[in-house]
Amino acid sequence: MNDESQRLPVDTDRDVVRVRQLVRTVAVAVKLSLVDQTKIVTAASELARNTLVYGGGGEVEVTRVHNERRAGIRIVFADQGPGIVDLDLALTDGYTTGGGLGLGLSGARRLVDEFDIDTEAGKGTTITIVKWCR
């Protein structure tokens, strides 16, 4: 049982800021704690930047979700970029092909409750994250 989703394009630096702002708004609305709000917004910032820098742009979808016990927020980052060839390597702290710190993907995974990645070389990457209220 899910509410309506909100979608944003991710094609510029400015869009990454918009994603952060939307995620913050929804995180407050589902009543995540302050620390959890901070974690999900930070994770969203890392993954939206990846969508832009590595995926060549794409789209983000933010949804309020519920299960029997809890409310939460689900965010999907989708691009049609080159995909991730070696996923294990990409999820290793400190590994980067883009000149960054190599913490975006691995760090974002630590900040959320659920992390799912679907990628294929040449086809693109879709990452889904969920953060539940405690």
Partner 1 sequence: MERVPVLKIGDILLVSIQIDMEDQVALQLQEDLADKIVATGTHGVIIDISALDIVDSFVGRTLATIASVSRVLDAETVVVGMRPAVAITLVELGLSLPGIRTALNVELGIAMIGTRDLSGLLDDEDEDEPDQAAVTAP
In whole angstroms, the minimum distance from the beta carbon of 24 to partner 1 comes to 7
What is the spatial distance between Cα 132 and Cα 73, in angstroms, rounded to a whole number? 7
In whole angstroms, the minimum distance from the beta carbon of 16 to partner 1 comes to 7
Nearer to partner 1, 74 or 131 (CB): 131
Closest to 104 (Cα-Cα) out of 52, 61, 62 = 52
Identify residues 71-90 at the interface with partner 1 (CB under 8 A).
none
What is the spatial distance between Cα 105 and Cα 50, in angstroms, rounded to a whole number? 8
Identify residues 20-59 at the interface with partner 1 (CB under 8 A).
20-21, 24, 34-35, 37-39, 41-42, 45-46, 49
Nearer to partner 1, 85 or 101 (CB): 101
C-alpha dihedral over 102, 53, 130, 76, to 10 degrees? -160
Is residue 8 a contact point for partner 1 (CB under 8 A)?
no
- Supply φ then ψ for residue 10, to 5 degrees: -125, 90
Among 1, 2, 13, 68, binds partner 1 (CB under 8 A): 13
Q: What share of the chain is helix, strand, coil (3-state, %, to 5)?
A: 35, 30, 30
Binding site for partner 1 (CB under 8 A): 13-14, 16-17, 20-21, 24, 34-35, 37-39, 41-42, 45-46, 49, 93, 100-101, 103-104, 106-108, 110-111
